[in-house]
């Protein structure tokens, strides 16, 4: 398997490599805006892609959850705008240990261009090591849009998830915080709780510490094995809206299970449907 993570040392040595395209994906559930943080200081040469406008479609009636997958033309246009080509190495980062950058990596895989990588430790590690930031937004010449080929077999909708939950061997992993999974707090989606039968796998548990680097593959394999991954024939990952679930898919891939699926609508879709059950605790 190719390396899906790059180190801060590696990135520092490749800041001026024209093939390496650094992408800031910072995003926050409420309060701050990623674009404002990017303008205040980012890794030199980094472009910015926004979860809401570049890496998702607009939510609305008939759309699955708060962050539906972007239409192919939108994603291709975003990549073209920042100069990505089929020969690029697209390194995404954030300040949450890759919890948001994982979405960019996953979308590149989903749309048939496995050129994505995630900066291990993200901006937190970069800054802790005293590495430079800049506020200048460098102009990158746009590139012709890449040919986009979705792989819908990597995604499940809520109807398919209901079917899978009835089948032995299905493991559903909920990447939200334990408090949201248990239904103790819910400030954004329609109902508190979780999908019946889902197991809680907070994305922070993939890291050595808060906003830190990924655990070694063996430790990730042990983590997911304890949740039932070794016995599962189908693994489905979700979170609140389908963004941070991609971090669990990346971690599972590092652990040797590259076949995990994404429930696109995630809890934001499930909770909004009163005909679907929810559990608390």
Quote the Cα angle for 107-69-227, to 5°: 70
Contact 181, 206 (CB under 8 A): no
Contact 12, 81 (CB under 8 A): no
**Residues contacting residue 252 through CB under 8 Å, at least 6 positions apart:** 220, 224, 229, 235, 237, 258, 260
As a whole number of angstroms, the distance between CA 203 and CA 247 comes to: 6
As a whole number of angstroms, the distance between CA 230 and CA 249 comes to: 15
As a whole number of angstroms, the distance between CA 131 and CA 126 comes to: 6
Sheet strands (E) in 26-119: 47-48, 89-93, 116-119
Catalytic residues: 239
Quote the tokens at residue 107. Answer: 């979308």
Quote the Cα angle for 136-142-147, to 5°: 135
Q: Residue length, the chain?
A: 281
| Helix spans in the chain (H) | 8-13, 34-40, 72-81, 101-110, 122-128, 158-165, 178-182, 217-226, 245-254, 266-270
């Amino acid at each position: 398997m190719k390396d899906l993570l790059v180190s801060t040392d590696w990135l520092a040595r490749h800041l001026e490599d024209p093939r390496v395209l650094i992408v800031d994906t910072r995003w926050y559930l409420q309060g701050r805006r990623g674009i404002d943080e990017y303008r205040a200081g980012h890794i030199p040469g980094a472009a910015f892609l926004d979860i809401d406008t570049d890496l998702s479609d607009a939510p609305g009636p008939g759309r699955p959850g708060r962050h539906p997958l972007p239409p192919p033309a939108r994603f291709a246009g975003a990549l073209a705008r920042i100069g990505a080509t089929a020969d690029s190495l697209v390194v995404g980062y954030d300040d949450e240990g890759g919890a948001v950058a994982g979405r960019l990596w996953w979308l590149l895989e989903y749309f048939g261009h496995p050129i994505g990588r995630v900066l291990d430790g993200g901006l937190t590690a970069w800054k802790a090591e005293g590495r430079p930031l800049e506020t200048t937004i460098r102009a990158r010449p746009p590139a012709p849009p890449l040919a986009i080929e979705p792989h819908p077999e990597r995604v499940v909708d809520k109807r398919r998830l209901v079917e899978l939950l009835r089948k032995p061997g299905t493991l559903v992993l909920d990447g939200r915080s334990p408090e949201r999974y248990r239904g103790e707090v819910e400030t954004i989606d329609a109902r508190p709780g979780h999908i019946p039968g889902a197991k809680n796998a907070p994305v922070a548990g993939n890291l050595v510490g808060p906003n830190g680097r990924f655990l070694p593959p063996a430790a990730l394999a042990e983590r997911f094995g304890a949740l039932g991954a070794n016995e599962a024939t189908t693994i489905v990952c979700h979170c609140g809206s389908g963004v941070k679930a991609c971090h669990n898919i990346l971690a599972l891939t590092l652990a040797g299970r590259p076949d995990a699926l994404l429930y696109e609508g995630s809890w934001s879709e499930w909770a909004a449907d009163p005909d679907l059950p929810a559990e608390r605790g």
